[in-house]
Amino acid sequence: MATVPVTGTAPAAPAEPSGPSAEPLPDFGGVDVAAVAARTGHPVLGEVAALLLRNWPPAERAVAYYDDGPGPTVR
């Protein structure tokens, strides 16, 4: 088996910026997941949407919580 000597190194990839992005995340709150599950032709997307619907809590039990957001911490 022949070997090829390595001469030098690959150029370094540009560094990713650290910290949160100034660009807000898109709001997908208005997506009709049931319609996506019913109408998609993509088998994986259909299964994911169906799984979301099976595990979706009722409105009175739904909670949105994150501890690393930009707002005040509520404890």
Q: What is the pTM of this model?
A: 0.45
Task: Write the DSSP assignment of 25-66 as a string of letters.
Answer: PP--TT--HHHHHHH---HHHHHHHHHHHHHPPPTTT-----
Q: Which DSSP symbol is given to 15? A: P
Encode pLDDT of 36-71 as tens digits: 888 989 999 999 999 989 988 887 887 776 666 666
CA quadruple 61, 66, 26, 13: dihedral sign: negative
Nearest-Å Rg of the Cα atoms of the chain is 22
What's the maximum distance between 2 C-alpha atoms anywhere in the chain?
67
